[in-house]
Amino acid sequence: MEKYIPEKIEKKWQRFWEEKGYFEVDTRDTSRKFYALVMFPYPSGTLHVGHCRNYIIGDALVRYKKMQGFRVLSPMGWDAFGLPAENAAIKEGIHPWEWTRKNIQVLKRQLHSLGAGYDWKREITSCLPEYYRWTQWIFLKLFEKGLAYRKEAPVNWCPSCKTVLANEQVVDGKCERCGAEVIIKEMEQWFLKITQYAEELLKDLDLLPNWPEKVKVMQRNWIGKSEGVEIYFRLKDIQWEKGKILPVFTTRVDTIFGATYVVIAPRHPLLKEILKAVDEKKKKEIEEFLNRWRSTVKKAGEEVEKEGVFTGVYAINPVNDEEIPVWVGNYVLYEYGTGAIMAVPAHDQRDFEFAKRYSLPIRVVIQPEGETLDPSTMECAYEEPGIMVNSGKFSGLKSEEGKKKIALWMEEKGIGKRSVCYALRDWLVSRQRYWGAPIPIIYCEKCGIVPVPEKDLPVLLPQNVEFLPTGESPLKFVPEFLNTTCPKCGGKAKRETDTLDTFVDSSWYYLRYVSLEKDKPFEPEVVNKWLPVDQYIGGVEHAILHLLYSRFITKFLRDIGWVNFPEPFQNLFTQGMVVKDGAKMSKSKGNVVSPDELIEKYGADTLRTYILFMGPPEKDVEWDDRAIEGEWRFLNRYWRKAEEIREWEIKEGEVKIENLSEGGRKLFRRVHRAIKEVTQDMEDFRFNTAIAKLMELLNDIYALTPKNEEDRKALKFAILNLTLLLHPFAPHVTEEVWERLGNKPSIMDQLWPRYEEKYLAEEEITVVVQVNGKLRGKFTAPPDADQDFLKEKALSLPVVQKYTEGKEIKRIIVVRNRLVNVVTE
């Protein structure tokens, strides 16, 4: 009997799989295809066991699907552009590519040592020109369709990373990457018009029943659809681009009769006209306010004191022709709705605070049922539904009903129309950094903004650059890059020096994996057959960012005819974090657990099995250094038993049930049951319980002392099936055992085992006996015994007689194959 030495066998099988190309797939053959994808990593430093969970889940799935006869595509690559590489360049003087390349080597080694199988012929590295050339191509397509554009807008600026950030990259007012407080700046930047797809991105979430509800809810929140009414206020004495009309958006049109003033955003274009029209004193007052507003540092996600100033002009409420003042206020966003609001202080807390501060009138138009609100004593706005009052012919209606009626009435009268607003903003994609794909745009003195012609792609990122975090792209200081000629007129021109957000890189990589073409981003014919991805696996931290952007880009590519499906990821699984001492693993906290030492000590199979056994894969789990011993023991026990059985040199042949001992029959049935249950667990991603059942099966194997040759055959049958079922979790040791038991490698060529229905039933069933719902005893019975038999048997038990003595038996509940409950008075 040989000892189990993982070190010896794991290297052997990793080499075997690689040499025989076990994970390579020809995508031109689309029969029985299964596209399994784990989110490609950003290559920073080394993997810890938390990252490993992702790849282990993915690999278990890949192997399981392969054994089910699917042609599984399992690619891997590197999300290789990004700030950490550039920061390393600034700090350590190492070139971002050098740093990235080294990290890729480390990660690759680690993935190999886990035994994770990938088609390395399809490796993607997003920072290499052969890839980012096509990222730039997508940008040009977006530009061509008017979906990539420049605008000046308030943007998120990270003072530490010295670059702008997308809204999605600001978490709690802080930079998602470095944690610094993000401030709002007015800047001209490149945006992608994701808002054009807002409705579809929202609606098509319904096409994704197998996405976690949590993720869909987050996306819905983020898109933030609101249905309401755009109301046209008439301006008194003043005109602007929309004539005398000032549209405002509200979701509470039922409160329109309570509007006592109107507020426009500081950036609202009407303000320019107002400044022209009003007298000097007023003008000064407004400008003072605007200057104060401009000079305050606005932190992202921070609520500021509501301030504003009366503009001197009036608007007319179209429902009652009332003249109300137009204010400008810092709490109104230009980016949302129409950039102007009607203020109903009695029924909106924000307006209420503003009205209190400036002593503006408060008028109640919604009364809670059975109560009377008094504006002079109200301490906060009443925002709930209620009965409408002071609302002309709508008074007396329930507010929810009034909302609908007023909207229709306004449309009839032409003083408003129903409208929809989204909280989603366009995606800011320019970054003032070096380590990203250059934006393929040229600024010509004569022709203005000119896209780089497709044939000139890629716009190469220059190699020799000085890395100084100045707040401007380092490319600005590379004259050979910066200065160019206009593709249109041939005149002097300058290149765009900002680079693309790395989320642009990752928004389409899953398409390229299936078809790595030289002269195009991918071959649509192949992509349309392999996509959508059958199973996508990754962290929930991308619930909004990457997953929303990818959905957007897919829809765009569909609209320009490059793909024919609306959603890129049919099924999504988000795994939970592995935490240590209650916190996310991170270098700064010093609580990272490296897979390397664990693999050295126990082998990859033990680590893989343990990580999957720890708990349900979608939930966070606490890492425990000691508990991994359990899996080490399990695999050793498995190995020893397999060796013992090997030494019996059992002849081939089917197990003959009639020749088995009672214990042998029991084990034989347990094997069938294990196949059934483990298969179901695999389908449901319940790897933890699948492994628990395999441990039980091994315990059952150990429980049988063979009475005859047939029993020994049953044991071999059991260990072979256990080997097959265990393979997705512990691929190396199962390959080795499979071979040592006299079979031809690879075990992956075997079909996943099947169970037979007739062997699932137990020979004997334990029936529980309750008296008044309390467990009092049990007995055994043959399966499917009839009710009367069970009733009789239960009543004959001495315990039951003890508890029912002198009492009337009211009812007896019999649940077949399960229990008898005797109910007394």
Partner RNA sequence: GCCGAGGUGGCGGAAUUGGUAGACGCGCAUGGCUCAGGACCAUGUGGGUUAAGAGCCCGUGGGGGUUCGAGUCCCCCCCUCGGCACCA
Near RNA by CB under 7 A: residue from 304, 460, 468, 489: 304
Question: Closest distance between RNA and the C-beta of residue 225, in Å?
Answer: 8
Positions 544 through 583 that interact with RNA (CB under 7 A): 544
Distance, in Å, from the CA atom of 345 to the CA atom of 260, rounded to the nearest integer, reads: 8
- Contact between 421 and RNA per CB under 7 A: yes
Question: Closest distance between RNA and the C-beta of residue 270, in Å?
Answer: 14
- Contact between 688 and RNA per CB under 7 A: yes
User: 1 vs 751, which CB is nearer to RNA?
Assistant: 1
Query: What is the contact mask toward RNA in residues 150 to 189, using x (rule: CB under 7 A)?
Result: ---------------------xx-----------------
3-state class (DSSP) for residue 340: strand
Near RNA by CB under 7 A: residue from 621, 635, 737, 747: 621
- Contact between 811 and RNA per CB under 7 A: yes
Amino acid identity, position 294: R
Positions 227 through 286 that interact with RNA (CB under 7 A): 228, 249-252, 265
Near RNA by CB under 7 A: residue from 314, 632, 685, 752: 632
Question: Closest distance between RNA and the C-beta of residue 33, in Å?
Answer: 31
- The strand pair at 430-431 and 499-500 is best described as antiparallel
The CA–CA distances, whole Å, from 121 to 22, 107, 438 equal: 12, 16, 27
Gyration radius of the chain over CA positions? 34
Q: In 10 A of CB 378, how many CB atoms?
A: 15
Near RNA by CB under 7 A: residue from 616, 650, 661, 739: 616
Read out DSSP for 477-543?
Answer: G-HHHHEEE-TTT--EEEE---EE-HHHHTTSHHHHTT---SSSS--HHHHHHHPSBSEEEEEGGGT
Query: What is the contact mask toward RNA in residues 111 to 130, using x (rule: CB under 7 A)?
Result: --------------------
Question: What is the 8-class DSSP label of residue 432?
Answer: S
Question: Closest distance between RNA and the C-beta of residue 304, in Å?
Answer: 3
DSSP β-bridge partners for residue 578: 621
Helices 604-613 and 96-114 meet at what angle, rounded to 10? 90
Distance, in Å, from the CA atom of 100 to the CA atom of 88, rounded to the nearest integer, reads: 10
User: 8 vs 619, which CB is nearer to RNA?
Assistant: 619
In sequence order, which residues have a C-beta less than 8 Å from that of residue 188 and are 6 or more positions away?
A: 150, 151, 152, 153
φ, ψ of residue 408 in degrees (nearest 5): -65, -45
Specify the stretch interacting with RNA by CB under 7 A; choose among 189-197, 269-277, 315-323, 807-815: 807-815
- Contact between 809 and RNA per CB under 7 A: no
Q: Specify the residue for token string 């030495």.
A: 5
Question: What is the 8-class DSSP label of residue 122?
Answer: G
Question: Closest distance between RNA and the C-beta of residue 302, in Å?
Answer: 8
In sequence order, which residues have a C-beta less than 8 Å from that of residue 101 and are 6 or more positions away?
A: none
User: 207 vs 583, which CB is nearer to RNA?
Assistant: 583
- Contact between 695 and RNA per CB under 7 A: yes
Near RNA by CB under 7 A: residue from 305, 480, 649, 784: 305
Question: What is the 8-class DSSP label of residue 297?
Answer: P
φ, ψ of residue 208 in degrees (nearest 5): -120, 65
Q: Cis ω on the peptide bond leading into residue 746 (within 30° of 0)?
A: yes
- Contact between 805 and RNA per CB under 7 A: no
- Contact between 333 and RNA per CB under 7 A: yes
In sequence order, which residues have a C-beta less than 8 Å from that of residue 404 and are 6 or more positions away?
A: none
Positions 218 through 237 that interact with RNA (CB under 7 A): 218, 221-222, 224, 226, 228
Question: Closest distance between RNA and the C-beta of residue 156, in Å?
Answer: 11
Question: Closest distance between RNA and the C-beta of residue 669, in Å?
Answer: 15
DSSP β-bridge partners for residue 143: none
Near RNA by CB under 7 A: residue from 390, 636, 659, 743: 636
User: 169 vs 499, which CB is nearer to RNA?
Assistant: 169
- Contact between 332 and RNA per CB under 7 A: yes
- Contact between 630 and RNA per CB under 7 A: yes
- Contact between 696 and RNA per CB under 7 A: yes
Specify the stretch interacting with RNA by CB under 7 A; choose among 143-151, 184-192, 394-402, 766-774: 766-774
φ, ψ of residue 228 in degrees (nearest 5): -165, -155
Positions 584 through 613 that interact with RNA (CB under 7 A): 613
Question: Closest distance between RNA and the C-beta of residue 199, in Å?
Answer: 15
